[in-house]
Amino acid sequence: MNLSPDSAPTPLAPVGTDDSPAAGRERPDPHSPRWSARELRLLLALIWPGQLLVVAGIVAANAQPQIAQHFHTTQIAWFGLAFTLATILATPFAVRLGDVHGKRRVMLVLAAAGLVGDVITVFAPNYPVMVAGRVVGGLYGPVAVLVLAAVRDLFPPRRVAVALGTVAGSVGVLSLVTPLLSGWLLDEFGWRGALWFLVASTVVALLTLLCVPETPRRAAPGRLDWPGAVLLGGGLALVVFTAGQGRAWGWTSPGVSLAFAAGAATLVAFTVRELKVDRPILDLRMLGRRPVATVLVGSSIPQAAFFASQTILIFLALFPAIPHVSDGLGWTTTRVAVVGIPAGLVTFAAGVAVGAMVRRVSPRAVWYAGLVLLATGMVLAALYHRDTAQIVWTGVVMGLGGGILMAGQQTMIVSVVSPEEQAAANGMSSLLTQVCLTLTSQFLYTVLAGESTVLDGTAFYRDQAFTHAYLAMGAVVALGLLVSLAIPALRHPQEADSGTAGHPAEDTRAASDA
């Protein structure tokens, strides 16, 4: 697809201010408490592309045990790690191109690339080819970032918080349908059947994005900062690769130490360069403002723990019970999906509720409540995870905290950056979350491996492994809470488009009012 500025369509204004003939027939009032039909259609059109990344994660996680046993590999972590690494590397480019050419156009290109990767994965004859397909499929990842940034472009200010909460919290509803369908596919057709579902899902995302109007261009065309991109990609690749090989090589081995040092040095060089160039691939100057830095870092750490913790339940529920080898529950994937329905409903409800709550309550206070609930749920899951009832009610507590986190992160970002910075802030948030998720996942696998037995090339886990893993994720959430305590007072999201959001003087004034 041609991304040249000359061929791009005229950008459309946000919903409620569109002067196009179609808008003239409807002309929704942005101040009306009622949502127009056009706004509701747009909201629905953004949900599936925005949450496909999470849906793909659910399907991939459910399929991992079968894939590991089919290919007799102990390196199943790379099934997710390859996808994550590709997403990390593609995100800065996607954000920059979205600001220059329009987010819809870039999302369509990325979705098409992701579809190619999904097809490679489903036809993979061996594990290395499968990992390569996951790398290509990971190019879809930045679509989730661009969808969230597009919400602010396409909805009037008073709708933004609720729209973000609905898009972010909708993962709860999708996590009801996706596990049921993927579980049935896994039980009836094996892991290839589940991966075919991913192919179909990406096709649906492509078609849905065609219904989304183009967003305003917020950056002038110009050359991409290729040296900065190479430094960022190389540094992150080294750090992520080191995290992936830590258990195999030994965390204190010379190879791990050298690779990590090289990655850190490359990222330092990237930072120095980006602070000097006029058009950086990633605007690190935003991190010089306390509200932005604390929100992005403080929200990335606990979200990574929440997503990583889903892996614990997958291994706990799907792995068989083998005396002195495995303390899994031996459930079918379909049963796991049914048991997860209450948690999914709570996650969605919490996400929607956050959008309404932050109009009256500080986004920071809502965020703290979500962190406390999630950490509590992790501790409870560590103690109670041995039957259906225990997994249901501990999952509800974690789902409530997780729903608040996913929606709360977006409302806080809107509160501390300007509309022009929205996509860059979402991109930086995604990068930080993905890097934190990679490191947290490797930490999780290391904890699980402490109480595991390798049988016929597959690692099986004892009950203590699951207990320690949940406690470890609870500790990561607690770390996120400590960082989040440094977040200053935040304005309400509906006030963020008044022209002051993201400006240092106003951020300082907000902090002094805390």
Q: Exposed/middle/buried for 451, CB within 10 Å: 0-12, 13-18, 19+?
A: middle
| DSSP code, position 458 | E
**CB under 8 Å to 52, separation ≥6 — which residues?**
140, 143, 144, 201, 202, 205
Residue type, 161: A
Residue type, 500: T
Rounded to 5°, angle at Cα 38 from 37 and 43: 100
Tokens of 503: 């400006």
Task: For residue 114, give the nearest of 203, 243, 219, 47 by alpha carbon.
Answer: 203
Rounded to 5°, angle at Cα 288 from 298 and 264: 75
The verdict on residue 260 lying in a domain is no
Q: State which H helix or E strand residue 29 sits in.
A: none
Q: Are 451 and 434 a contacting pair, CB within 8 Å? A: no
- Taking the mean position of all CA atoms in its chain, how far away is CA 34? 30
- The pLDDT value given to residue 465: 92
Q: Give the three-class secondary structure for 326.
A: strand
- The pLDDT value given to residue 220: 62
Residues 79, 62: Cα–Cα separation, whole Å: 12
| DSSP code, position 319 | S
Residues 86, 203: Cα–Cα separation, whole Å: 20
Q: Exposed/middle/buried for 372, CB within 10 Å: 0-12, 13-18, 19+?
A: middle
Q: State which H helix or E strand residue 261 sits in.
A: helix 254-274
Sign of the torsion angle spanned by Cα atoms 124, 446, 385, 407: negative
- The pLDDT value given to residue 47: 82
The verdict on residue 349 lying in a domain is yes
CA atoms within 13 A on the CB side of 288: 9
- The pLDDT value given to residue 476: 96
**CA distance to 212, 396, 480, per residue, from 438 (Å):** 31, 25, 16
Residues 408, 169: Cα–Cα separation, whole Å: 10
Q: Exposed/middle/buried for 31, CB within 10 Å: 0-12, 13-18, 19+?
A: exposed
Residue type, 107: M
Q: Are 470 and 295 a contacting pair, CB within 8 Å? A: no
**Nearest-10 crossing angle of helices 157-169, 142-154:** 150
Residues 324, 334: Cα–Cα separation, whole Å: 26
- The pLDDT value given to residue 169: 64
| Residue 322, beta-bridge partner list | 326
The verdict on residue 16 lying in a domain is no
Residues 100, 216: Cα–Cα separation, whole Å: 9
| DSSP code, position 381 | H
| pLDDT per residue of the chain (514 residues) written in tens, 0 to 9 | 444 333 333 333 434 334 333 333 444 555 556 777 888 888 888 888 887 877 787 788 778 878 887 887 767 777 877 887 788 788 888 888 888 888 899 999 999 999 999 999 999 888 889 889 999 998 888 888 888 888 878 888 777 777 777 776 676 666 667 777 777 888 788 888 888 888 988 998 999 998 888 888 776 666 777 788 788 878 887 887 787 677 677 778 888 889 889 989 999 998 898 888 877 877 788 888 889 999 999 999 999 999 888 889 888 988 888 888 888 888 887 788 788 888 888 887 887 788 778 777 888 889 999 999 999 999 999 999 999 999 999 999 999 999 898 888 878 888 888 877 877 787 788 778 878 887 888 889 889 888 888 777 677 888 999 999 999 999 999 999 999 999 988 766 656 554 444 443 334 334 333 4
Residues 127, 252: Cα–Cα separation, whole Å: 28
Residues 404, 371: Cα–Cα separation, whole Å: 8
Residues 231, 365: Cα–Cα separation, whole Å: 37
Residues 5, 100: Cα–Cα separation, whole Å: 8
Residues 160, 401: Cα–Cα separation, whole Å: 21
The verdict on residue 2 lying in a domain is no
448-455 contacts: CB < 8 A, separation 24 or more? Answer: 448/312, 448/315, 449/247, 453/324, 453/325, 453/326, 454/74, 455/322, 455/325
The verdict on residue 6 lying in a domain is no
Number of neighbours of residue 375 by Cβ within 10 angstroms: 24
- The pLDDT value given to residue 20: 38
Domain count, the chain: 1
The verdict on residue 323 lying in a domain is yes
The verdict on residue 182 lying in a domain is yes
Domain span holding position 49: 39-224+281-512
Q: Are 334 and 472 a contacting pair, CB within 8 Å? A: no
Task: For residue 49, give the nearest of 116, 103, 95 by alpha carbon.
Answer: 103
> For the domain that residue 407 is a member of, what is the CATH number?
1.20.1250.20
Q: Are 74 and 248 a contacting pair, CB within 8 Å? A: no
The verdict on residue 88 lying in a domain is yes
Q: Is the pTM of this model over 0.85?
A: no
**Nearest-10 crossing angle of helices 290-318, 422-449:** 40
Residues 294, 300: Cα–Cα separation, whole Å: 10
Q: State which H helix or E strand residue 338 sits in.
A: helix 333-339
Residues 501, 152: Cα–Cα separation, whole Å: 13
| Residue 460, beta-bridge partner list | 453
- The pLDDT value given to residue 286: 85
